[in-house]
A = this chain, B = another copy of it.
């Protein structure tokens, strides 16, 4: 068990921004909120997944919504607690611990806020080992944990229980529509699973990985060293591109930010363009040669992260714009996302790219996502 400090929060937010692969919502607001709570005397704790008893009851806590709305429409402040209490009231049981739905972006902070509000520990693990745009893309549900009961609340006090859903795709569809009705900002707690289920199906040690990534970036910044190298050293990732953004095409469709970016390389001896397709998160990166041939450099479920070449800050898909100097790194995803069952839900075909074959990025033993 580990008590979160102000310093931890800053590092986790940086690391989660990078693991968010362009999406997951901006962790900035959540970070401010949690740091304020810590100053006010709240405390949040992180428990190792291994220490979770098999019969403990665990729930994921996370926000659903449009990041563009989330930075303008602020929360009431107790939504995480309301969602957990709604589940406890519905089941008549006490939740023992909180787990992260996705380590990428703002949802890395939600379980820590929930821990501070409820006194329950947050577990050092998540259900994606990155960020993904849809709810069925969870290692819990991919591995057979039922997605209900689920509680959903908004800042006005509206409270809904999904008591039974035929599958996680139905939950995604229905909660997404409700979320739009709630004004594109909502908080969910789901499902009620046992410690045994969580240990069997979660991606382990991702909160501490986010912290280590953030620590490395901060150390590199302080020492005026290249931040991208720091990210690669902790995550076991690969640099796939350095250059300048030359075009961004973006549409908001069905509550998602979808689009493509094009970038031009700086390497004059080996001139090529980069194309990345995204749906909130970056999905596929292609190398385009001067003849117009495309070669896949990386694709989901592996992580494609666009970093500002100067600051090392992750650039989320809504921040992409012409002229940015970027370093693109690709990070091998968790092994939990490389099973055939997982690839059916989070592989390139599930995102509309059936022609792209997933070729796993090589991993460095002992580094990065497990």
Across the interface, do A180 and B177 meet the contact criterion of CB distance under 8 Å? yes
Bound CA span A164–B158, Å:
5
Query: Could you say which residues of chain B place their CB within 8 Å of the CB of A182?
Result: 174
The main secondary structure of chain A at its interface with chain B is mixed
Bound CA span A163–B180, Å:
19
Query: Could you say which residues of chain B place their CB within 8 Å of the CB of A174?
Result: 158, 160, 178, 181-182
Among B86, B156, B163, B180, contact of A159 (Cβ-Cβ < 8 Å) = B163
Query: Could you say which residues of chain B place their CB within 8 Å of the CB of A181?
Result: 173-174, 177
Q: A145-162 CB contact bits vs B (8 Å, 1 = yes)? A: 000000000001111111
The residue in A160, A166, A180, A181 that gathers the most chain B C-beta atoms within 10 A of its C-beta is: A160
A176 to chain B: closest residue by CB: B181
Kindly state whether residue A291 has any CB partner on chain B within 8 Å. no
Kindly state whether residue A351 has any CB partner on chain B within 8 Å. no
A162 to chain B: closest residue by CB: B160
Kindly state whether residue A89 has any CB partner on chain B within 8 Å. yes
Query: Could you say which residues of chain B place their CB within 8 Å of the CB of A170?
Result: 156, 158
A255 to chain B, nearest CB (A): 12
Kindly state whether residue A165 has any CB partner on chain B within 8 Å. yes
Across the interface, do A164 and B159 meet the contact criterion of CB distance under 8 Å? yes
Across the interface, do A164 and B173 meet the contact criterion of CB distance under 8 Å? no
Across the interface, do B158 and A89 meet the contact criterion of CB distance under 8 Å? no
Bound CA span A174–B282, Å:
31
Bound CA span A157–B177, Å:
18
Bound CA span A173–B163, Å:
20
Kindly state whether residue A266 has any CB partner on chain B within 8 Å. no
Kindly state whether residue A90 has any CB partner on chain B within 8 Å. yes
A sample of 8 more A-B contacts (CB under 8 A), given A89-B163, A158-B165, A159-B163, is: A90-B161, A90-B163, A156-B170, A159-B165, A161-B163, A174-B178, A174-B182, A177-B177
- Cβ contacts A to B, 18 pairs, < 8 Å: A86-B163, A90-B90, A90-B163, A156-B166, A157-B164, A157-B166, A158-B164, A158-B174, A159-B162, A159-B163, A159-B165, A160-B160, A160-B161, A160-B162, A160-B174, A161-B161, A161-B163, A174-B181
